[in-house]
Structure 1
Amino acid sequence: MSAPNKSYDPVEVEALKPEEIDRAREAALGAIAAAGDLDALREVRTAHAGDRSPLALANREIGALPPQAKAEAGKRVGQARGAVNKALKTRQEELEAERDERVLVEEAVDVTLPHDRVPAGARHPLTTLSERIEDIFTAMGYEVAEGPEVEAEWLNFDALNIAPDHPARTTHDTFFVADPAGTGKNAGADSGVVLRTHTSPVQIRSMLDREPPIYVICPGRVYRTDELDATHTPVFTQVELLAIDEGLTMADLKGTLDHMVSSLFGEGMHTRLRPNYFPFTEPSAEMDMVCYVCRGESVGNPDRPCRTCSSEGWIELGGCGVVNPRVLVAAGIDPEKYSGFAFGFGIERLLMFRHNVEDMRDMIEGDVRFTRAFGMEI
C-alpha cells in the first residue's frame, strides 16, 4: 500500500488555482451589483452561492488535498465565499429598502378620502318580519317546523283534503316537477312532485312525525303560477300555524289571532272572522284585522277617510279554521279525541301593510336602497 503523496501541489487542481478563485469571486460580485430587483438577486444567489456554484465546487476539491495543503486552499476559498455572502446580504438590504420606498409611493393610501363610500347593506325586511313572527309564537310555546320546497303531491294536496279535480291542482296554478303515477319523464312512483303551493305540507309532516299535542309554526317560500306585478309574485313567503290538542275550538283560534296582531301592530288591535270555505278546515273563515291606521274610525266618517282600508275599517289578512277531521285521519290522528286549528298568510302582504310598501316587486329586486330603509331591526 503506497503512502500519501505529501508533495502534491494544490495549484495543479484547476478549480483551486488562485486566479480561478479570484475570477469566480469577481464574477459573483459583478452579478450581485448588477441585480436590479429581489427576483434577479435570488437567481444570482443560486448561480454564485448555491451548491453548484464555482466556489462551492472548488470547496469540495479541498478534501482531496494532502493535510499540509488544505489550510491554505481552505483559507483562499473561504475568504472568497465570505466576500460573496457579504455582498449578497448588503445588496439584498439595498433592494428591500428600494422596494419599501417604492411601495410607499405606489401603494399610498389617502386617509383623507371618505371611508364610507361603499354603503352598508341591511337584513331583508322579509327575513326580519318572519323571524319576528316566529319569536311571537315560540314565546307562546310553539315550535318552528320546516320542510322541503319540492314536495310530494300527496302531502301538498291529497292529505289536505284537496281533491284530484280541484282547480288548484292544475298546471294553471301549480308548478309540477314530476307527473303523478310515474307517467312523466321524471315522475315519482306513487305521487306527483310539485313546488309546494303553501307551507301546509309541513303541517302534515309535523302530524306524521309528532304525537299530539302539537303546536308548530311553519314559515317558508312557496310557489304559484302568478304573474309578477305590484301585488303578486310567483315566489313568496308564507307562514302557517297548526295547533292540535284536546278540546281546541274557534275561541282558541280567535284569541291566538288577536295576540298576534296586537304583538305586530300594537295594543288595541284585534281580529274578526268571516265564514269561508277551505278544504283542509271545517269550519273555515277569512281573518280580518282592524285597520292599523284608522282603527275603524273612518267607517261612516267622510271627514276622516282612510286610504289603507278604503274606509272599511278592516284589512283582510288570510285564511283560518278548525282542522278538518279528514286531515287528521290522513295524518293518523284520532279526530274523536283531538281537534285543532290552523291559519296562514303571506308575509309579503303583511310587510306591505306594516310598512306601507306599495309595490311587491321592490321586495325581490335586490336594491339596497329598499332594504337599507329597514336597517338591522330585530
Structure 2
Amino acid sequence: MPRIGFFCVMIDEIKKHIALVNEFTSTELDAIESFRIKYLGKKGLLNDFFAEFKNVPNEQKKEFGQTINQLKNAATEKVNSLKDALASTTVSDSVYGDLTRPGQPMSIGARHPISIVKNQIIEIFSRIGFNVSEGPEIEDDWHNFTALNLPEYHPARDMQDTFFIQTNPDVLLRTHTSSVQVRYMEDNKPPIRTISPGRVYRNEAISARSHCFFHQIEGLYIDKDVSFADLKQTLQFFTTELFGKSKIRLRPSYFPFTEPSAEVDVYWGLETESDYKITKGTGWLEIGGCGMVDPNVLKNCGIDPEEYSGFAFGVGIDRIAMLLHQITDIRLLSENDVRFLEQFKSAL
C-alpha cells in the first residue's frame, strides 16, 4: 500500500477512536482508570500514534496531527468529566446518604475578656445617657497633653512614660483616652455625656501586673451646675451595677486635668483568702481616678467655664477584667493563647 494511503487509513482509525471515546461512559472508578491508561497512559494508543507522526508525509502531517490532538483532548475531557461526576456523587452520598451518622463538631470562638468587660461597662453607662466616643491611638501633643492642662515641661508629663515618634516629637502614642474627650469637646457643645474606651500606651516594664499597653475607659459629663455629688452618685451606680458592691470611697489625689481630684475605691470585703490578697488586708480596692474638670481644660476646648462645669473619671479595663475573672497575669490578655481564651465561651 502506498504510504499516503496507509496514513489515510490511520487517520480514519483515529477518528473511530474519537467516536468510541465520545460514546464511553462509566460510574466505576476502575473502568475509568482502565480507559485512561488505554488512551493516555505511557503505553497507550496516543503514544503509538504520536510515534508514527515522524513517518507521516509532509502533505499529511497537518491533518494527522490535528486528528491526534482531537483524540487526546476528547480522551482527557472524558476522563476528567467522568471523575468529577463520580466525585460529586461520592460526596453527596457521604454527606446526605446516612442521616443517622453523628454530625461534625463545630468549634466556636469566644469573646476576649477585654471585650466582655468593655461591653458590660458601656451597657451600664448607656442606661444613664452616656454615648460612646472614639479617637486615634496615634496622637499629637495638644490633644494628649497641652489641652489637658499639661503644658510643655510640666513635671506631671513624666508620670505618663510616653512613647514618642522619633521622627516627629510632636506625635506620640496616646497615654490615656482623655485625648478622645478633648476631641469630643472641640466638636460638640454641652451638654456632653460620653465614655471613651480604647487602648493606651505607657513605656513601662512588662510584668504580671503591668504592661506597655492596656485598655482604659474614661467618662466625661459637662453641663450647667454639675457638682461633685453628681460624680459620686454616678460612680456609685457604676460600681453597684458592675461589681454588686455599693460601698465606695473617694480619696484626695492629683490629676493635672481635674480639680479637685480623687482616687476611687470600692469596698470588696474580706470574706475569702482571695479578698485579703487583692485588697492587701484592707477590704478596699482601688479601681480608678476621677475629679471635676479643670476650668483650664474647658477653656482650651472652647467651653465657657463660667457657664459650664463637669466631671471626668477613668478606670482600667484590664484590671477590672482580671478582678472579675480571677486572672493573675495581665500578659495572658495579649498572648492570644487559645487555651486561655476558650474559658470565656460561657461569657458570650
**Shorter-normalised TM range:** 0.7 to 0.9
Matches within 5 A, 1:199-278: 199-266=177-244, 268-278=245-255
Provide TM-score, normalisation by structure 1: 0.69
Q: Which stretch shifts more, 355-364 or 279-288?
A: 355-364
Cα deviation for residue 120 of structure 1 reads 3.9
Q: Which string of whole-angstrom CA distances, capped at 9 and with x for unpartnered residues, describes residues 305-324 of structure 1? A: 73332331210011100000
For residues 151 and 124 of structure 1, the distance between their equivalents in structure 2, rounded to whole angstroms, comes to 26
Query: Is it true that 1:25 corresponds to 2:12 in the alignment?
Result: yes
User: Matched residues in 2 for 1:90 and 1:155: separation?
Assistant: 69
2:154 is aligned with 1:162: no
Q: CA deviation at 1:215?
A: 0.7
Q: Secondary structure of the residue that 1:332 maps to in structure 2?
A: coil
Preserved contact between residue 289 and residue 314 of structure 1 (Cα < 8 Å) = yes
Q: Is the 8 A contact 2:177 2:200 kept in 1?
A: yes
Deviation of 1:94 after TM superposition, in Å, equals 9.9
Specify which of 135, 143, 147 is matched with residue 123 of structure 2. Answer: 135
| Count of matched residue pairs | 308
Q: How much has 1:331 moved relative to structure 2?
A: 0.5
Alignment match, 1:96:
82
Report the equivalent of 1:280: 257
Q: Is the 8 A contact 2:275 2:283 kept in 1?
A: no
- Residue 308 of structure 1 aligns to a residue in which SS? helix
- Whether contact under 8 Å (1:168, 1:174) holds in the other structure is no
Is 2:327 the counterpart of 1:349? Answer: no
Distance across 1 between alignment mates of 2:274 and 2:180: 44
Please report how far the alpha carbon of residue 103 of structure 1 lies from its aligned counterpart in structure 2 after TM superposition.
Answer: 10
Match of 1:309 in 2: 279
Residues 262 and 39 (structure 1 numbering): CA distance in 2 closer, same or farther, change over 3 Å? farther
Is the contact made by 2:36 and 2:79 (CA closer than 8 Å) also made in structure 1? no
Q: CA deviation at 1:209?
A: 0.3
Tell me the distance in 2 between the aligned counterparts of 1:347 and 1:94: 58
Whole-angstrom distance in 2 between the partners of 1:22 and 1:142: 91
Q: Which amino acid aligns with 1:100?
A: L
The Cα shift of 1:104 comes to: 5.9
Structure 2 vs 1, CA of residues 91 and 345 (structure 1 numbering), >3 Å: closer, same or farther? closer
Q: CA deviation at 1:113?
A: 9.6
| 1:35-74 correspondence runs (5 A) | 35-36=36-37, 53=63
Q: Does 1:365 align with 2:338?
A: no
Distance 1:305 1:171 in 2: 29
How far 1:93 sits from its partner (Å)? Answer: 6.7
Contact 1:123 1:376 survives alignment (8 Å): no
In the TM superposition, 1:103-114 aligns within 5 A as none
* Cα distance, 1:24–1:375 mapped onto 2, change above 3 Å: same
Q: Which amino acid aligns with 2:256?
A: P
Q: Which runs of 5+ in 1 are unaligned?
A: 1-13, 58-80, 179-185
How far, CA to CA, are the matches of 1:102 and 1:335 in structure 2?
Answer: 74
Deviations 1:233-274 (A, max 9, x none): 0010011000000011111111111111111112x5232111
Checking the alignment, whether the CA contact within 8 Å between 2:156 and 2:256 is kept in structure 1 is no
CA distance in structure 2 between the aligned counterparts of 1:368 and 1:113, rounded to whole angstroms: 26
Consecutive unaligned residues of structure 2, counting only runs of 5 or more, are 22-33, 51-61
Alignment match, 1:319: 289
Determine the C-alpha separation between the residues in 1 that align with 2:201 and 2:319.
Answer: 15
The answer on whether the counterparts of 1:218 and 1:240 sit within 8 Å (CA) in structure 2 is yes
Q: CA deviation at 1:114?
A: 9.4
1:153-189 Cα distance to aligned partner (Å, 9 max, x none)? 11111111123223453598110115xxxxxxx327x
Match in the other structure for 1:340: 310
Amino acid of the residue matched to residue 131 of structure 1? N
Identity of paired residues, percent?
40
Q: Is the 8 A contact 2:275 2:281 kept in 1?
A: yes
Name the CA shift for 1:95/1:323 in 2 (closer, same or farther; >3 Å).
closer
Q: 1: distance between equivalents of 2:220 and 2:210?
A: 25
Instruction: Output the TM-score relative to the length of structure 2.
Output: 0.75
SS at match of 1:307: helix
Q: Which has the higher helix share?
A: 2
